[in-house]
A and B are shown apart, each in its own frame.
Chain A
Amino acid sequence: MVMFFFRRVGQIFVSLVAILVITFYLMHAAPGDFFNIERLMNQQVTGSRLSQFEEKSQTLMLWEERYGENTPVWKQILIYLRHAAVLDFGPSFRYPDTTIQEMMKRAFPRTFVLAFSPMLLALLIGIPMGIGAALYRNSWIDRVTMFVSMLGICIPSYVIALLVIVFFAVTLQLFPTSGWGTWEYAVLPVMAMVFQPVAGIARYVRVSLIKEMGEDYVRTVFSKGGNRNKAVFRHALRNSLIPLLTISGPQFANLMVSTAFIEEIFNIPGLGKLFVAAAGTRDYPMIITSTLFFGFLIMLMNLLVDIGYALIDPRIRASYRGKGG
């Protein structure tokens, strides 16, 4: 098990380096750069007309100070890795007077709340919905549950976001339309994000529970005189929830990544908003760090899922051992 853990950590490290190399090279190959974009955008603000051959800005000098002037890309990657190892990602081009880690430190809790709350709610709502649908299969409960979950899957979160803004903020004036601060600000964004995971989990639990209910061991419970509640809650449900782990980890990582839309709509100063702005303006340091961060997050969630599997399922633990773990 320990060996398995270390092997996976090693794989994560190699994957991150691969992501880093690809990002660095793609970034250099992409047309357009931060300084041209900045000049054009600010020309629109100030009306100044300039050639593209202006003196170096301090932002560029900071980049060169960190990575060296005319340094080949492979060397820049090594320098980046050296700094990243101590969580020093340097200043962003767009906000030269603050560091990326400082900005991420402030933005991360908001994005975490935005992703974690819908996940928690999805589990609390989706599991009972799935159980209900499975137990009352083909009844109106099942049909309503499946219809609602189909809507949840089909309607994108940004559409739901607009609907909840119009209804709860504009019409009822219960919650603010945008911003971040007290708990009221989180209600509408979480509402917009919760539908999809609820729908996914409900459908997953339903299918999984129906399958488990047809297994021999459930029939054995009934044949031994056990009632339905015992068969469902003590036996079938426990087994049907194990695969739920498979989707919960990536689902959470997916929610972390997809908060970008919601942060933009609700003007929440989270990671997604930072990273989307960075991509649009070719803010290289921020783009690299964000790609790396989300890559790491997804791999970490997968690792946690695998470890969770091993902890709750002895068969899987044994299989890890069989692979040299």
Chain B
Amino acid sequence: MTLGGTDWRKGVLLGMLAAVLFNAQARAGRPKEIRYIGPPVSTLNSYLYTGGMYAQITLGTKEGLVQLGPEKGLIPAQCERWEVSEDRLSYTFFLRRDNRWYDGTTVTARDYRAAFIYQMEPGRESKWLWDTPLQYVVKAMDFRNGAAREDEVGVDVLDEFTLRFRLARPYPAFLNAMVTGSMFPIHRGSLEKYGDAWHKLPNYQGNGPYRIVEWELNSHIILEANPRYNLPRGNLERIHSRFAGRPLEGYQSGEIDFALLASIADIYYARRHPELGDELVLTPTSGLSYVRFLFSEHPVYWDARVRRAIALGFDKRRIVESIFLGRETPMHMLSTPAMPDWDPDVGMRFNVEEARRLLSEAGYPGGEGIPESVILIPSYLAPEMVSQFVVIAAMLEENLGIRFRIDNQELGVYADKRVSLNPSGYTGMCFAASGAPWPNPIYGTQWIENVQWTEDPGVYGAWWEGQRRILQIRSGMTPLEGGENLEEFQPVHRLVEAYADSVTALFANGRHGPRLRRQAEEAMSGWRQTADEILRTAGEPDADLEWCWKALNVTLLQARQYYFQWSNTSDLRWRLEEMRQEAHYARESSRQAEINREVHRLVQAFSWDFPLHVANATALVRPYVKGLRFCAYWWANPMYLKWIDIDDDGATAARNAVVD
């Protein structure tokens, strides 16, 4: 071989060919493996409730008592069956006796109880605790707040394989919510031995179909089949999930076996591709994009008619068809087909005449008098999401004469503006999105909060000021005067009691039912207890008086805010709150759905939110991957990977095709 001739070029080509063949050979020798780009697992502690918690459920490092079924509904996982009491305040689970931890020890009811107590412990990270069903368990929140002992919490180990939950009040979504990572058991041995490091490798013990071989923060996780797993599963032996990457290119290069496509450009390319088009799979999800009106001192959007006019004033169908190419489906109600309360007949559809009539009725004919408004969006939005708001702004100007400008802000600024009461020069609406982690029988009642308790910006402003003051005192930004001696505590304590009495009187005026009254009484009792406790602590010899004074004042302000809010609450909101209670106590699921639909009808006319569209998970899946489903509830994460079967012949054929 001489450098001057053409031989060196042949050498390079041969080298490249050898590398290709070597690469293909390496693929052909793989076990039954699935490789994909999945959501990041930022911790193996599933009780932390991070965004990646769904990834852990999908991967199957641990398994709880129940799981989502392939179709709608629940199926038993590590329990044989469950019983629900007549009053729906007690759920008893009969566990499987053959479920083992990685180390071979048996999973018992005590492991489940230990997990629940662990995450409810006072001071433990609680970021997403409110999303677990545990908050409905008797004395669970009291235990967390230090007001109850561990043995008072309503999780009972009846025997090694029987576990009972006692609820403080009925919660229709209790069973469905049990599919989350917070309801996984914990290996007590690891917890005792390693303490808070129980979830670090190699201390981690799971009971699911796969065991962790390797996990790298921000990079990937590799799992292999757990030989001790007790339930039926597919033939998948190994999982390799990367936490980021380029799905389309990865799929085309043969690196991954399925790819969730998020980018419209990728979807467009895949659809038109002669081979990839056949491997596209579309799954409707519950990922709802909607628009939320901003709180502003300007009164214009406090008028429900103006909000409704805007919701009716542009054509979502056109936007979805022309911009999203089918990745999204237009929505007219604040729910999705994946939810039990879904009703295609409920909702507000494009109707320019009605929108114009509403504007005129509100005193803004042809949009006159409405200041230039903003559509606030976070800077992380994909280009197509930004484009839709440009089109919405153009449609609203053309149809209703209202001018909107796009305010594309960095995430932190967006978050601040979205939750704040903005000055009167800044008004309009913002992008928002919501997912649902399980089919929620009371999904509609969640949107009640979006009908504000007041439509009066002045009243809201006064309440907001109170909230800001609480935050400032808590964070130390506003120093509190006084509190140097114990005598000053007594009048504040008496004021807390006075507010508690006032709230009781407010709820006893016959406007609302006993359930709402009971809820208010529980809140009152909480403040009384807290105030008493603070007073007692302040009286101790080495008490931190500064801390006690601050805590007592915050309690007082919270009681005052509660009273202020409920004494100014609109009749509509009272009614909706009653309906929420009714939905919780309804026995039949059909009745629950009926109440929820009624809530939707009432909410949509006054809501501060209106829906845009719901996402369809769009994925490329190799034909040899059988049994892969995408979950409607976990932002299109794949469902349990243990259901997957790898078709060996198909896989080999596909790999040979790569070599050819």
Contact A53 B253 (CB under 8 A): no
Contact B126 A57 (CB under 8 A): yes
In the bound complex, residues from chain B placing their C-beta under 8 Å from that of A32 are 410-416
Residue of A nearest to B246 (CB): A177
User: A39, A176, A274, A282: which contacts B218 (Cβ < 8 A)?
Assistant: A274
Contact A37 B415 (CB under 8 A): yes
**Residue interface mask A292-305, B partner, CB < 8 A = 1:** 00000000000000
Contact B658 A173 (CB under 8 A): yes
User: B19, B216, B437, B467: which contacts A269 (Cβ < 8 A)?
Assistant: B216
Segment from B96-104, B127-135, B393-401 that makes contact with A = B127-135
In the bound complex, residues from chain B placing their C-beta under 8 Å from that of A172 are 16, 20
Among A1-60, those with CB < 8 Å from B are 30-33, 36-55, 57-59
User: A47, A106, A267: which contacts B437 (Cβ < 8 A)?
Assistant: A47
Q: Max chain A CB contacts within 10 Å: which of B20, B196, B415? A: B415
Q: B465 CB to closest chain A CB, in angstroms?
A: 13
User: B23, B45, B246, B467: which contacts A97 (Cβ < 8 A)?
Assistant: B45
Is there a chain A Cβ closer than 8 Å to B423's Cβ? Answer: no
Q: In the bound complex, how far is the Cα of B476 from the Cα of A54, in angstroms? A: 16
**Residue interface mask A145-186, B partner, CB < 8 A = 1:** 000000000000000000001100110111011111000000
Contact B253 A170 (CB under 8 A): yes
A: number of interface residues (CB 8 Å) = 60
Is there a chain A Cβ closer than 8 Å to B25's Cβ? Answer: no
In the bound complex, residues from chain B placing their C-beta under 8 Å from that of A258 are none
Contact A40 B418 (CB under 8 A): yes
Contacts A32-B412, A179-B220 given: A38-B127 contact, CB under 8 Å? yes
Among A234-278, those with CB < 8 Å from B are 265, 267-269, 273-274, 277
**Residue interface mask B115-152, A partner, CB < 8 A = 1:** 00000000111111011000000000000000000000
Q: B539 CB to closest chain A CB, in angstroms?
A: 23
Among A103-134, those with CB < 8 Å from B are 103, 106-107
Is there a chain A Cβ closer than 8 Å to B513's Cβ? Answer: no
Q: In the bound complex, how far is the Cα of B635 from the Cα of A223, in angstroms? A: 78
In the bound complex, residues from chain A placing their C-beta under 8 Å from that of B227 are none
Q: In the bound complex, how far is the Cα of B420 from the Cα of A31, in angstroms? A: 12
User: B45, B219, B432, B433: which contacts A267 (Cβ < 8 A)?
Assistant: B219
Q: In the bound complex, how far is the Cα of B413 from the Cα of A241, in angstroms? A: 48
In the bound complex, residues from chain A placing their C-beta under 8 Å from that of B128 are 42, 46, 48
In the bound complex, residues from chain B placing their C-beta under 8 Å from that of A53 are 467, 470-471
Q: Is the interface of B mostly helix, strand, loop or mixed?
A: mixed
Q: In the bound complex, how far is the Cα of B40 from the Cα of A274, in angstroms? A: 13
Contact A36 B412 (CB under 8 A): yes
Is there a chain B Cβ closer than 8 Å to A318's Cβ? Answer: no
Is there a chain A Cβ closer than 8 Å to B48's Cβ? Answer: yes
Contacts A32-B416, A57-B126, A97-B199 given: A269-B218 contact, CB under 8 Å? yes
User: A46, A174, A281: which contacts B23 (Cβ < 8 A)?
Assistant: A174
Contacts A42-B51, A170-B252 given: A97-B219 contact, CB under 8 Å? no
Q: In the bound complex, how far is the Cα of B533 from the Cα of A182, in angstroms? A: 59
Is there a chain B Cβ closer than 8 Å to A84's Cβ? Answer: no
Q: B449 CB to closest chain A CB, in angstroms?
A: 5
In the bound complex, residues from chain B placing their C-beta under 8 Å from that of A33 are 412, 415-416
Contact A40 B415 (CB under 8 A): yes
Is there a chain B Cβ closer than 8 Å to A144's Cβ? Answer: no
Contacts A41-B51, A176-B255 given: A98-B243 contact, CB under 8 Å? no
Contact A97 B415 (CB under 8 A): no
Contacts A53-B470, A103-B217, A173-B658 given: A45-B635 contact, CB under 8 Å? yes
Is there a chain B Cβ closer than 8 Å to A94's Cβ? Answer: yes
Q: In the bound complex, how far is the Cα of B467 from the Cα of A51, in angstroms? A: 10
Contact A37 B124 (CB under 8 A): no
A-B contacts, 15 of them at CB < 8 A, read A32-B411, A42-B127, A46-B437, A47-B286, A47-B434, A48-B130, A48-B131, A59-B125, A69-B476, A173-B24, A173-B253, A177-B246, A179-B220, A179-B245, A180-B219
